[in-house]
């Protein structure tokens, strides 16, 4: 009875939210339902035999969407929070959507991205078969404090499960989970497989066990690479390793003798595909389905999503932390287009992290090298962005401050050049939606 | 003109983007034709501060702050001489706290500070996190962001009165510390980008001490707008 009430109320709230144009309705549905029946998530999830989680700082949504695409190719019905609602209410809502009003779910598989801190709580109610861990980067500082604490707590939570861990072997932070007794599958990139840009502002790389500075034979980007410490902590032998990368029409990469193709820019996305591939291989999914699933994926969720306007590319990508921003700006720099503009949107709402100082840890200095005709800054903290750019060496005359996101987008769309729209977390949906509205 | 800034433990003490303060100091010097040389210090062995015109100590987690303090205590007298001689200094959060005699953790453990100034800090479980607005007689409106468990107590001149947020502790309604040309503060943001008057105070003090000159003003229209915007929106 509780279930029906909770499910019914949640579904109603969700519809109302969508009708009132307040969003996707995913979060409100989960919030309402949880209040009525706090055990609802456990009850619904326990009916789904094969649950896999994807977590980490960057790339969760991309990995999750790629995985879902492969499962669709293979014909495996599954639950997936495609839109990226990865906090508790969003997770609950994902299960609710596939549940009948009397609380029955028929789906046997669930592929869910889960926010790193939320995962600690979710694991108390759901025991997944596997967890893909992409990476850890300094993200919303005042939400989680330090990465160390987050990782320790997450390790404790994962230890209570039998989940197989799919770990990014190139990331010393992720490799801290190697200490757990769970089964593991490692993925990574071979040394020097791609010339990622060298950033001046990088995370300090200390061994999490003995505190010594980590030595790197190759650095891919940020703290990802072939690391080793004198105490013995080092990159493992990789199970699923990319041996070659070719950037042509899209990104082609080879694992053993098989080539895959990503139709989205940003070579760092190869890591995101790897997590998905590692899981699919473990499940013995047909190679052709994996290839087709990865190749057929076109981003519609603001992760490197693009439109063509009068022959010029307009692209949206989420940037919410230094690592993500650095790698996105290096993509901007590699574009061969003569004239480019960038529009940054910075909000400081609760979910963004109220402390926006991370923009000072990001490499905006690299922007002054590129052929930038104009930079527009927008969002609640537009002025902070403007100051950051000024101190990064960008000519103040090139910087336009338009706090209103819609006005900033209107202004940018009039420019005859390649435009990159880079919003942070809470700005993403409004920016993407407005651009969709304007460009149809 | 040339200035030298000692930047202590940049890798260990940069928890909240505070390296942005160094970027601001560098640029504001560069725009005035002053060459600011930043010397990053990771080891204090045999370090002499005789050529220091400015220094910066940021904040880190308790563990990192303690490691750095144990190193810095080796050059305690150099630091004391520098500060008393009027070398410009900026210390943020942990850097500020550990100038004092001790820092008492939440579990009651007393971590020794550098004992350079008469101040002490007591940490409590409830963290003080949020935007801070300070009215300063010397610097006007000062804006920043705080994130600390420590409550610091001292009798020195402060940066100013807290209009929004907490500041040093929950009793005084004051933020930070000014002693000669040394500033201690809990304010992140980072501090200097939107509070260019504090940046210029530090640079000017250094230029006056070394060359007997004053620095020329810069066009701070953008910074003023940003500060005003934040002051209004965060009330």
pLDDT in tens, B174-213: 999 999 999 999 999 999 999 999 999 999 999 999 999 9
Q: Is B27 within 8 Å of A388 when comparing Cβ atoms?
A: no
Residue of A126, A40, A101, A111 lying closest to A78 (CA atoms): A111
Q: What is the pLDDT of residue A348?
A: 93
- Collapsing DSSP states into helix, strand and coil, what is residue B55? strand
Q: Among A391, A394, A401, which would you mutate to test the B interface (most chain B Cβ atoms within 10 Å of its Cβ)?
A: A391
Residue A262 CB coordination number (10 Å): 23
Q: What is the pLDDT of residue A141?
A: 47
Q: What is the pLDDT of residue A144?
A: 42
Query: Is B226 near chain A, with CB under 8 Å?
Result: yes
Query: Is B70 near chain A, with CB under 8 Å?
Result: no
Q: What is the pLDDT of residue B130?
A: 93
| Rounded distance between C-alpha atoms, residue A3 and residue A122, angstroms | 19
- Chain A residue with minimum CA distance to B132: A355
pLDDT over 70 (residue A21): no
User: Which two structure tokens, joined as six digits, stand for A306?
Assistant: 């693009």
Residue of B82, B70, B79 lying closest to B43 (CA atoms): B70
From B29, B93, B148, B154, active-site residue:
B93
Predicted-assembly ipTM surpassing the 0.90 threshold: yes
Name the β-bridge partners of B131: B145
Q: What is the pLDDT of residue A145?
A: 47
Residues of chain A with pLDDT > 90, as a percent, come to 60
- Chain A residue with minimum CA distance to B42: A213
Contacts of A347 in chain B (CB under 8 A): none
The whole-number average pLDDT for the span A190-202 is: 74
Residue B190: cis peptide before it, omega within 30 degrees of 0: yes
pLDDT band at A198 (very low <50, low <70, confident <90, very high): low
pLDDT over 80 (residue A371): no
A279, A130 contact by CB (below 8 A): yes
Q: Is B17 within 8 Å of A391 when comparing Cβ atoms?
A: no
Contacts of A384 in chain B (CB under 8 A): 193-194, 226, 230
Contacts of A201 in chain B (CB under 8 A): 19
pLDDT band at A162 (very low <50, low <70, confident <90, very high): very high
Q: Among B94, B143, B195, B222, which would you mutate to test the A interface (most chain A Cβ atoms within 10 Å of its Cβ)?
A: B222
Q: Is A396 within 8 Å of B222 when comparing Cβ atoms?
A: yes
pLDDT over 90 (residue B83): yes
pLDDT over 60 (residue A177): yes
CA dihedral A36, A42, A45, A46 (to 10 degrees): -130
The whole-number average pLDDT for the span A329-352 is: 88
Contacts of A389 in chain B (CB under 8 A): none
pLDDT over 60 (residue B28): yes
- Full-model pTM: 0.78
Q: Is B17 within 8 Å of A358 when comparing Cβ atoms?
A: yes
Tell me which residue in B27, B190, B222 faces A357 most closely, judged by beta carbons.
B190
Q: Among B8, B12, B16, which would you mutate to test the A interface (most chain A Cβ atoms within 10 Å of its Cβ)?
A: B16
Tell me which residue in B147, B189, B193 faces A142 most closely, judged by beta carbons.
B147
Tell me whether residue B154 is one of the annotated catalytic residues: no
Q: Where are the beta strands (DSSP E) in B113-231?
A: 119-136, 140-154, 160-164, 174-175, 177-179, 182-185
Q: What is the pLDDT of residue A292?
A: 95
Contacts of A386 in chain B (CB under 8 A): 222, 226
| Conformation bin of residue A250: beta by default, left when phi > 0, alpha when psi is -120 to 50 | left
Contacts of A357 in chain B (CB under 8 A): 16-18, 20, 145, 188-190
Contacts of A383 in chain B (CB under 8 A): 222, 225-226, 229-230
Q: Among A355, A359, A400, which would you mutate to test the B interface (most chain B Cβ atoms within 10 Å of its Cβ)?
A: A355
CA angle A369, B9, B155 (to 5 degrees): 115
The whole-number average pLDDT for the span A342-366 is: 91
Q: Is A357 within 8 Å of B145 when comparing Cβ atoms?
A: yes
Dihedral sign computed on CA atoms, order A350, A354, A358, A364: positive
Residue of A123, A182, A115, A116 lying closest to A149 (CA atoms): A116
Cβ partners under 8 Å of residue B124, min gap 6: B106, B149, B151
- In the predicted model, what is the mean pLDDT of chain B? 95
A386, B226 contact by CB (below 8 A): yes
Measured CA to CA in angstroms, residue A302 lies from A61, A83, A365 at distances of 10, 10, 24
Instruction: Please give the DSSP secondary-structure letter assigned to residue A212.
Output: P
Query: Is B224 near chain A, with CB under 8 Å?
Result: no
Q: Is A204 within 8 Å of B23 when comparing Cβ atoms?
A: no
| Rounded distance between C-alpha atoms, residue A396 and residue A104, angstroms | 59
User: Which two structure tokens, joined as six digits, stand for A110?
Assistant: 């669930």
Q: How far is CA B223 from the centre of its chain?
A: 19
- Chain B residue with minimum CA distance to A383: B226
Tell me whether residue A85 is one of the annotated catalytic residues: no
């Amino acid at each position: 009875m509780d279930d029906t009430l909770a499910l019914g109320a949640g579904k109603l709230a969700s519809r109302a939210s969508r009708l009132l144009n307040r969003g996707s309705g995913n979060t409100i549905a989960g919030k309402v339902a949880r209040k009525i029946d706090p055990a609802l998530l456990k009850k619904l999830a326990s009916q789904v035999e094969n649950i896999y989680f994807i977590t980490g700082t960057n790339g969760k949504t991309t990995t999750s969407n790629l995985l879902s695409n492969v499962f669709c190719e293979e014909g495996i019905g599954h639950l997936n929070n495609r839109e990226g609602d990865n906090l508790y209410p969003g997770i609950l809502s994902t299960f609710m959507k596939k549940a009948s009003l009397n609380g029955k779910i028929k789906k046997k598989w669930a592929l869910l991205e889960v926010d790193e801190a939320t995962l600690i709580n979710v694991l108390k109610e759901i025991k997944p078969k596997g967890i893909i861990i992409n990476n850890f980067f300094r993200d919303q500082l005042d939400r989680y404090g330090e990465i160390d604490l987050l990782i320790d707590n997450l390790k404790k939570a994962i230890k209570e499960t039998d989940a197989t861990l799919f770990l990014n072997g190139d990331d010393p932070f992720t490799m801290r989970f190697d200490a757990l007794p769970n089964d593991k599958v490692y993925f990574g990139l071979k040394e020097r497989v791609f010339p990622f840009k060298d950033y001046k502002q990088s995370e300090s790389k200390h061994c999490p066990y003995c505190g010594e500075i980590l030595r790197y034979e190759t650095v891919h980007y940020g703290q990802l690479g072939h690391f080793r410490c004198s105490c013995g902590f080092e990159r493992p032998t990789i199970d699923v390793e990319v041996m070659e990368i070719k950037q042509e029409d899209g990104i082609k990469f080879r694992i053993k003798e098989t080539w895959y193709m990503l139709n989205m820019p940003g070579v760092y996305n190869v890591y995101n595909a790897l997590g998905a591939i590692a899981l699919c291989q473990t499940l013995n999914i047909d190679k052709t389905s994996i290839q087709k699933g990865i190749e057929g994926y076109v981003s519609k969720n603001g992760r490197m999503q693009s439109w063509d306007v009068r022959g010029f590319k307009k692209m949206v990508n989420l940037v919410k932390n230094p690592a993500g921003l650095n790698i996105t700006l290096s993509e901007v720099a590699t574009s061969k287009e003569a004239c480019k503009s960038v529009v940054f949107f910075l909000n400081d709402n609760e979910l963004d992290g109220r402390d926006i100082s991370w923009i000072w840890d990001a490499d905006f200095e690299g922007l002054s090298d590129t052929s930038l005709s104009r930079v527009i800054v927008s969002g609640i903290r537009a002025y902070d962005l403007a100051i950051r750019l000024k101190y990064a060496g960008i000519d103040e005359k090139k910087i336009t401050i338009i706090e209103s996101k819609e006005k900033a987008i209107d202004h940018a769309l009039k420019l005859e050049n390649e435009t990159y729209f880079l919003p942070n977390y809470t700005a993403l949906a409004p920016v993407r939606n407005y651009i969709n509205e304007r460009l149809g | 003109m040339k200035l030298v800034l000692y930047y202590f433990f940049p890798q260990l003490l940069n928890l909240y983007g505070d390296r942005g303060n160094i970027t601001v100091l560098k640029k504001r010097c560069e725009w005035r034709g002053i060459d600011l040389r930043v010397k990053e210090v990771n080891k204090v062995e045999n370090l002499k501060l005789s050529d220091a015109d400015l220094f910066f100590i940021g904040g880190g987690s308790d563990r990192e702050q303690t490691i750095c303090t144990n190193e810095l205590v080796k050059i305690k007298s150099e630091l004391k001489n520098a500060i008393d001689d009027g070398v410009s200094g900026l210390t943020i959060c942990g850097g500020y706290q550990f100038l004092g005699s001790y820092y008492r953790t939440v579990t009651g453990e007393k971590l020794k500070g550098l004992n350079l100034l008469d101040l002490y800090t007591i940490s409590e479980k409830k963290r003080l996190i949020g935007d801070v607005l300070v009215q300063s007689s010397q610097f006007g409106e000062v804006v920043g962001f705080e994130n600390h468990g420590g409550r610091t107590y001292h009798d020195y001149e402060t940066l100013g009165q807290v209009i929004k947020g907490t500041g040093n502790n929950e009793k005084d309604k004051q933020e930070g510390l000014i002693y000669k040309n040394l500033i201690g503060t809990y304010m992140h943001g980072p501090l200097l980008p939107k509070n260019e008057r504090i940046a210029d105070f530090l640079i000017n003090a250094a230029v006056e001490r070394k060359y007997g000159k004053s620095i020329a003003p810069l066009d701070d229209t953008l910074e003023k707008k940003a500060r005003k915007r934040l002051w209004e929106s965060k009330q």
